[in-house]
Each structure stands twice: as C-alpha cells, then as structure tokens.
Structure 1
Amino acid sequence: MSFTWTPHRFAGGALALDVANSVILRFDAQRTVDRFADDRQLDNFAAAASTFSAERALFGDLAAVSRQNRERLIALREAIDRYFRGRTLGRESRTALAELLDAAAAALRGAESEQSLEAATARSALALISVPEPERMKICGNCGWLFLDRSKNRSRAWCDMAVCGNRVKANRHYRRKKEGQS
C-alpha cells in the first residue's frame, strides 16, 4: 500500500502524540493499520517529523530509528498511547505512568544520539506529562487520535479540521439531507 507522511499525520501537536497516532483506527480490529509495521514507513517518519511536527524547532532534523531500537520505539509508542488516552478519558493510572516512564528511560538509554527519533519522542512524552493544562489534550471525535487543543477557547473537537472536521460535517449534512428526502 502506498502511503505518504503529510502534515495531517502530524496533527497531534507534539511529537509523542504523532508517534502514538501512527496506528490508524487503533480500536477497530477490522480496519486498524500500524504505519510503523512497514520498515520503510518508519524510516520515512523521522524525516517527515523533521518537516511537519509541531515540535520540529525543539528537536531539529531527526535521525531514523536504528533496526535494534525499533522495538523500544514501539514499546514507547504504546506506553504513550495508554497513559495519555487514559488520562484524557479521566482514567489516569499510576501503572500506565510507570510504564511510560520505563519506556522513555529505555528509549533514552538505548538511543544512538540526541537527534534520534526515539530520544526525541521520549523527551516529548516526558514534557507532556507535566503540561500545565492537561485538559488541553483531547481525543479526536472522528479518528480517535490524541491531540493538543491549542485553540483560545479550548473548543477544538477534531485533530485536523481540514480532514476529520470536514468528514464529520459532510456526514452530518448527508444524513440531514437523506432524512429530508424520506
């Protein structure tokens, strides 16, 4: 399957969330896609994150994950999703936090450089733990991705208005129109 890392794929607002969001439709067993299952996509992610990530100024040009560190990055990705999704849903867990801290420490210890994707992802996750307004982290009402709501009034409902917001609005319009024709 052909796939390109586009700005929409970096709608999380933080590198750690963009990495967690690399699993598409995470909770739909029939349609879920792990973009990191293909080594080429994982290799391309670091370069794309260097261009599109909201935190690109903090981390600069990221180095791809070495073959021996891929498992660590995947473990970190899953720990990021578990902890922040639980926290966003009001089910914060000390166990999930400990797992995230362990995964971040392992990624930092094993990273080949500060500019490696796994080191930058770990640092991004650690920074998110202490975000001053944790209620700004949300789950997209369309695709289920984690994202930071940086809107002034905290009313953002979708990870990306141009993609998810438009899909939801188009579906709503279609249903209203169809109901009017009945």
Structure 2
Amino acid sequence: MSFTWTAHRFSGGALALDVANSVVLRFDPQRRIDRFADEAAIDSFAEAANLHGAEKERFGTLGPIGPGRRASLIGLREAADRHFRAQVLAEERPELLADLLEAIAAVIRQPAHSGPSIALDVATAQSALSLVANPEPDRLKICPNCEWLFLDRSRNRSRTWCDMAVCGNRTKAKRHYRRNKEGNQP
C-alpha cells in the first residue's frame, strides 16, 4: 500500500510528537496502522519532516536511521507516546519518564553515522529530551478526533484539534450531520 507523508502528519509541533503520531488509530486494535512497520516509510518520514516538520530549522536536514536502529526508534516512539500522553492526562507516572529517558539514552548511545544530516532517531531523541527539559504541560494536548499528541502554540492556548483543516473539519461535519439528522426525524 502506497502512503504519502502530508503536512497534516506533522501537526504535532515537535518531532518527537510527530514520530509518536506515526501510529494511526493507536487505541483501535482492529483499525490500527503503524506507519513505521515498513522501514522504507521511516526514511520517507525523515524526508517529509525536512519539508513539513515544525523543528526543521532546529535540526537542519534529517537523514535516514542507521542499519539495525529501527527497534530503538520504535522503543523511543512508544515511550514518548506513553509519557507525554500521561502528562496530558495529569497522571503521576514517574516510571514512564524513566522509560522515556532510557529510550532516549538507548538511541543516543548508538554510534552515529557521519554525514551532513542528523539521523531521524537522534533528532527524535533530542526533541523528546527538549520536551522533558522544558515542559509546557498547558500546551501539550491530545486531539479529541484522532487522539494524536500536539503542542498548542496558539496565543491563548485554545487550540482543540491537532489540525483544524482535517480533524476540526471532520468533527464539525459530524456534528452538523447529527444535528440535521435529528432535526429531520418525524
């Protein structure tokens, strides 16, 4: 199945959150899709993050992960999702922070590749570490439509959806449909 990384896929506001959001319908076992199941998709994610990612200026050019590093990137992705999701839900779970820090260390301890770009897994680890070191709990949110994590960068912190053009429109369309359907009932 062919898949394209669009700008919507990078609405998390931080690379670590965009990587965490690479699992679509995470909590629906029947429809769950892991976009990183194919290693080629990880490389194409790095290329797309260079175009659409919120931290593209910070990291410069993102490159592919090294051979044999997929497992540590997936471990980092899952630890980041669990920790930041618990943070949004105001759950006191210090073991999740420990898991995230261990996953970050596992990525950073691996030998880095040489070249002009920074590997996606290393940049993701740095992004996650920045979110931990400079927490903005009132800005970190979960989209009520797709359940993706995102940073609310609006001035008054009132953003509701990860992406208004996608999730906001879907939610509003569903609400409009229900209202019209209820109004047309005999």
Pick the TM interval, shorter chain: over 0.9
Match in the other structure for 1:135: 138
**Separation in structure 1 between the aligned mates of residue 135 and residue 150 of structure 2, nearest angstrom:** 15
Q: Is 1:120 the counterpart of 2:123 in the alignment? A: yes
Flag the structure with higher helix content: 1
Q: TM-score, normalization: structure 2?
A: 0.95
CA drift of 1:112 comes to 1.8
Residue segments in structure 1 that go unaligned for 5+ positions in a row: none
Match in the other structure for 2:66: 66
Q: Is 1:172 the counterpart of 2:183 in the alignment? A: no
**Separation in structure 2 between the aligned mates of residue 111 and residue 170 of structure 1, nearest angstrom:** 49
Match in the other structure for 2:15: 15
CA drift of 1:131 comes to 2.7
**Separation in structure 2 between the aligned mates of residue 124 and residue 159 of structure 1, nearest angstrom:** 18
Match in the other structure for 1:46: 46
What is the identity percentage for the equivalent residue pairs of Structure 1 and Structure 2? Answer: 61
Match in the other structure for 1:28: 28
**Separation in structure 2 between the aligned mates of residue 31 and residue 130 of structure 1, nearest angstrom:** 34
Which of 136, 152, 160 is 1:149 aligned to?
152
Instruction: Confirm or deny: 8 A CA contact 1:142 1:164 kept in the other structure.
Output: yes
Aligned residues: 182
Name which of structure 1's ranges 27-36 and 86-95 shifts more when overlaid on structure 2.
86-95
Ranges of 4+ aligned residues in structure 1 off by more than 2 Å: 130-133
CA RMSD, Structure 1 to Structure 2 (Å)? 1.1
Q: Residue 29 of structure 1: SS of its match in structure 2?
A: coil
**Separation in structure 2 between the aligned mates of residue 30 and residue 160 of structure 1, nearest angstrom:** 24
Q: Residue 67 of structure 1: SS of its match in structure 2?
A: coil
CA drift of 1:153 comes to 1.0
Match in the other structure for 1:87: 87
Instruction: Confirm or deny: 8 A CA contact 1:111 1:118 kept in the other structure.
Output: no
Which residue identity lines up with residue 159 of structure 1 in the other structure?
Answer: C
Question: Would the alpha carbon gap of residues 111 and 93 (structure 1) be closer, same or farther in structure 2, given more than 3 Å must change?
Answer: farther
Q: TM-score, normalization: structure 1?
A: 0.97
Which residue identity lines up with residue 79 of structure 2 in the other structure?
Answer: A
